[in-house]
């Protein structure tokens, strides 16, 4: 449980740090590749610390967490930028039935949802393959991939609900950063369950080998 809580905290901190760096001018906000690489590395660093503590020993696979995460982020950004027009056109093509869509899911929130799920899929695949190597279990890759998709959907629903019930006028820096921290913690809460499941399976397998 302590590992899960620490992972959630790492998710919140990692999500906020890039925005803090951008706000104070430490990180460029021009959307460049350098900014994307540094931002992704900042997000992955607290996660690496928790993962290193969970593994309990240094390993090459564990040390690859930040590089793999950065590459996955860049790949997801590239995939979204290439397919952005197609996704938009596809969603616009179903605009005629938008009135039939239940709840507050407007067009822009649907675009955000597609982008979030795309990011989660690419990130879940890259990190999942690495976790499968770390925990020596192929099931870890599948578990992590599904965990990221579920986390993206849950976070998307929460964001939609928030956008439809909160005013964006006269917001302070804290008002802007708090939802980001909550979203990061929520995403980590779901993926943290998957991480705990992997760790327990590894412990059970080690115990069986010892017996």
Domain ranges of the chain: 2-210
8 Å CB contact between 107 and 91 = yes
Q: pLDDT for 108-156, tens place per residue?
A: 666 677 788 888 999 999 999 999 999 888 889 999 999 999 999 998 8
Give CB contacts under 8 A, 24+ apart, made by 164-170.
164/104
Question: Mean per-residue pLDDT for 14-20?
Answer: 89
What pLDDT is recorded for position 169?
Answer: 60
Question: Mean per-residue pLDDT for 72-92?
Answer: 71
C-alpha–C-alpha distance, residues 88 and 107, integer Å: 9
Helix (H) or strand (E) holding 204: helix 173-210
DSSP character for 162? H
* Contacts (Cβ under 8 Å, ≥6 apart) of 209: none
Closest CA to 42 of 61, 59, 66: 66
What pLDDT is recorded for position 153?
Answer: 92
């Amino acid at each position: 449980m302590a590992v899960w809580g620490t992972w959630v905290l790492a998710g919140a901190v990692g999500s906020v740090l890039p925005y803090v760096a951008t706000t104070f001018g430490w990180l460029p906000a021009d959307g460049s590749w350098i900014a994307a690489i540094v931002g992704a590395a900042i997000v992955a660093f607290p996660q690496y610390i928790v993962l290193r503590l969970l593994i309990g020993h240094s390993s090459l696979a564990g040390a690859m967490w930040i590089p793999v995460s950065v590459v996955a982020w860049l790949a997801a950004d590239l995939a979204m930028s290439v397919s952005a027009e197609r996704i938009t056109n596809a969603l616009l093509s179903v605009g005629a039935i938008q009135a039939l869509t239940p709840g507050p899911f407007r067009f822009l929130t649907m675009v955000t949802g597609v982008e979030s799920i795309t990011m989660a899929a690419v990130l879940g695949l890259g990190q999942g393959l690495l976790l499968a190597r770390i925990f020596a279990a192929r099931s870890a890759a599948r578990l992590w991939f599904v965990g990221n998709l579920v986390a993206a959907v849950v976070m998307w629903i929460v964001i939609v609900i928030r956008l439809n019930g909160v005013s964006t006028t006269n917001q302070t820096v804290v008002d802007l950063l708090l939802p980001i921290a909550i979203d990061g913690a929520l995403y980590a809460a779901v993926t943290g369950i998957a991480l705990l499941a992997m760790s327990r399976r590894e412990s059970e397998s080690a115990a069986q080998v010892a017996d």
